[in-house]
Chain A
Amino acid sequence: MYQADISATKAFLKGIFERSTTPQGRAWLTQKTELVSSGSAKEKDFYLAFSAAPRFVGKEHLQLTEADLAQADALRAGFNPSRWTADQAARTLLLLSLPAQDADAFVKQVETLFGTADMGEQVALYGSLPLLPYPERFSKRASEGVRTNIGDVYEAVALDNPFPSEYMEEDAWNQLVLKTLFVGKPLYRIHGLDQRSNSELTRMLSDYAHERWAAGRPVSPELWRTVGPFIDEHTIHDIQRLFSQPDELEREAAALACAQSSFGPARELLNSHPDLKQQVESGELNWGYIGRNATMQEPYKVDRT
């Protein structure tokens, strides 16, 4: 019913949490997690502890080493707490301490939290989705998270989170990818992006690029990341246009997209740019590079033209 070895995950989280809080914070959380897991806590005790966590454990950023990140990924593929804070880790530990034998009771308590959550609580709740039991019961909740208007909450559900790519319906997934571009957030931080590319998403992205071009606005080179395998007689014109853009990142994105395509005209386009082709083949050029550089460039960040 869990998505990871729960006791190993809790031990790991507790370890990294304890490095970013005070002795008092550690003692407070130990007491509260024991109370919650004992099953003798009232619902109100759990809700109050969940709310009050930052007051007792603070909000320091977790300090993770490369080894910590590797361990997180080994415990649960895609689990990435690199941007988490102490209060977020504490809240996640409280969630993972809730008795979960009764699926309905568990889901009801988590949904009650979602229904009354402040911003920090929403971030913690959405960030915990890849670790919770009964993940399929939270698929619609994740789709709801993508509808948020609040930047930090959006990032918690959509970025560095393996849950959406594994549990969201295709329509909701496509909205997530499109909205991430729309609000100027980096695509390369969406987990499982390449695996879930699809032809409908390609159509939506191509339409969006046309809309931006028509308005004289820049198009993030990351947009083309999932398009490559689906290049056809329509989208090939978009790729042609990319190759003639003044921005080098866009030409590089065009080359990467062509390299992922088996469509003849796309292969020919790539062959006509031997320098770029060589960089793609050597691995020097990849989508991660495009993403990291695109987000550093102001024009792609937000619509401010």
Chain B
Amino acid sequence: MNTQNLMLIDPHIHMTSRTTDDYERMRKAGIVAIIEPAFWLGQPRTDVGSFKDYYSSLVGWERFRASQFGIKHYCTIGLNSKEANNEALAEQVMELLPLFIYKEGVVGVGEIGYDDQTPTEDKYYRLQLELAKETNMPVQIHTPHRDKKSGTIRSMEVSLEHGIAPDMVIVDHNNEETVKDVLDRGFWAAFTIYPNSKMGNERMVEVVKQYGTERIMVNSAADWGISDPLSVPKTAALMLERGISLEDVRKVCYQNALDAFGKSGQMHESDWLTPATVDQREKFSGSTVLRGGQTPVVGELENDEGEFGSKFIR
């Protein structure tokens, strides 16, 4: 995979559902930073404690686990649209969110929005937009799988109604049918590259050729389903192969995500260029996953185009 040693960011990936082998492959493919939006776990949670521990792991264990592989981990915190339909639980989750919104590495409220577009989803979407406004945080919108186009437009209209500036909102899971509406309104347009659904990366190349690179970004949304944590590097490589300039690829696979989520004040390029100046306690080779005898070897990391083998010591 030739990405000409570009630094890459995957601004939407659910690492909680992925393995350490994925982290190793991602790092070797050039990914330096990721954003993990809070989402549902494939089945509904029944208790607020599950949410608390999940959010804690996003700002705690998962962030640390990523650091062991030389990847900076950020997250967005929010109540996803599916689980917003359990109103009793949603009420309790809303009380938790202020405890997490200012944690280190939280770069937005997300992923929030609509799924079935029920009145209850609408209620909690709006409440979370208010929280984002109050804390001056970017918003990461999950657009619905079904009735996508009108759901996407509705998501944007409601956020404008709440007085949120479009450049503070990242609208995710776009396709050819939604992209123009999003860009015309001044929002960020994110595209999820999935192996079989959502966008394939050949289609993505065409989108960039047609719409340019202004406010467009690419992510994998890799999770517990069929998905590919190397979507961003693979798409970057394909774009280069198809004649898109290195600078344009850098924008959609790195810079735009940094500019959009950087508005949180919690994500800076220096975090991965000179980690020691950000927090000298977070030395990623000096601070290890505490399991004697199974420490991943982390040394000089180079982008690697060969076979990605796991390097565990057993």
Contacts and interface: CB of A to CB of B under 8 A. Distances in A.
B61 interface: yes
A303 B280 contact: no
B60 interface: yes
Given A149-B290, A151-B290, A116 B63 contact: no
B291 A151 contact: no
Nearest to A123: B281
A117 B288 CA distance: 19
Interface string A206-234: 00000000000000000000000000000
A115 B57 CA distance: 11
B290 A47 contact: no
Interface string A139-162: 000000000111110100000000
Contact of B288 (A61, A118, A120, A183): A183
Nearest to A55: B265
B105 interface: yes
Contacts of A184: 288, 292
Interface residues of B, number: 35
B79 interface: no
B132 to A, nearest CB: 15
A108 interface: no
Contact of B282 (A149, A152, A183, A303): A152
Given A115-B56, A117-B56, A304-B295, A48 B102 contact: yes
B292 A149 contact: no
B292 A115 contact: no
Q: Is the interface of A mostly helix, strand, loop or mixed?
A: helix
Contacts of B64: 119, 149-150
Contact of A55 (B60, B102, B313): B102
Given A47-B98, A151-B287, A303-B295, A118 B59 contact: yes
A197 interface: no
B146 interface: no
Interface in A43-70: 44, 47-48, 51-52, 54-55, 59, 61
B18 interface: no
- Among B98, B99, B291, B313, residue most surrounded by chain A Cβ atoms (within 10 Å): B99
Contacts of B102: 48, 51-52, 55
A303 B294 CA distance: 8
A81 B103 CA distance: 23
B55 interface: yes
B104 interface: yes
Given A115-B56, A116-B55, A116-B56, A303 B313 contact: yes
Contacts of B288: 151, 183-184, 302
Given A48-B102, A118-B60, A119-B60, A149 B291 contact: yes
A187 to B, nearest CB: 15
Contacts of A85: 279, 281
A303 B297 CA distance: 10
Interface residues of A, number: 33
Contact of A120 (B98, B104, B265, B294): B104
B223 to A, nearest CB: 22
A182 interface: yes
B52 interface: yes
A304 B299 CA distance: 13
Given A152-B282, A303-B295, A119 B104 contact: yes
Contacts of A33: none
B290 A303 contact: no
Contacts of A48: 98, 102
Interface string A265-305: 00000000000000000000000000000000000001110
A184 B98 CA distance: 37
Given A119-B59, A122-B60, 11 more contacts: A55-B265, A85-B281, A115-B56, A118-B105, A119-B104, A121-B103, A150-B290, A151-B286, A183-B288, A183-B291, A303-B313
Interface of B: 52, 55-56, 59-61, 63-64, 96, 98-105, 265, 278-282, 286-295, 297, 313
7 contacts: A59-B278, A115-B56, A120-B104, A149-B289, A151-B290, A179-B290, A304-B295
